[in-house]
Amino acid sequence: MNIKRFWMAVVAAYIAMTISGIIGSMIFMDQLSSYSALGRPEEELYGMMPYMFGAYIVMTIVFVYLYVNIRKTGDIVEGAKFGALIGILVSCLTWVLYSMLPFEMPALIADNVINLSSNIVGGMVMAKVYKPA
């Protein structure tokens, strides 16, 4: 494993997934309202953001590590497919939460779209940065 390219891919994927996740959340803000209503008050949420960003960093490190170790061609299409698989995996967690918490179907669908799209974008960016030697 090329350590320098690995960390460059982690940073690039993290930025790409963060930006696409924020954009998705802004686009689907109305649909996500029933999901957001279950969360912390806004003032408290801002104080918890370091935990959220820390968790996303760990997830991105694992995301890139798995890709680097199982990739075959290393092209952008493979990165998109890998991102889609991880996006589906993450989306399944939202379905579990949907079965336990009282939020509405539009929030579930919006969250799934955000998960899929941000992981696909992250996979493509990661594959572009960590291209085969």
| Structural domain spans, the chain | 3-129
Q: Would you write out the chain's pLDDT as a tens digit for each of its 133 residues?
A: 999 999 999 999 999 999 999 999 999 999 999 998 999 998 898 999 999 999 999 999 999 999 999 999 999 999 999 999 999 999 999 999 999 999 999 999 999 999 999 999 999 999 999 987 6
pTM of the model: 0.93
DSSP 30-96: TTTHHHHTTS--HHHHHHHHHHHHHHHHHHHHHHHHHHHHH-SS--HHHHHHHHHHHHHHHHHHHHH
Rounded distance, CA 120 to CA 114, Å? 10
Q: Which amino acid is at 112?
A: N
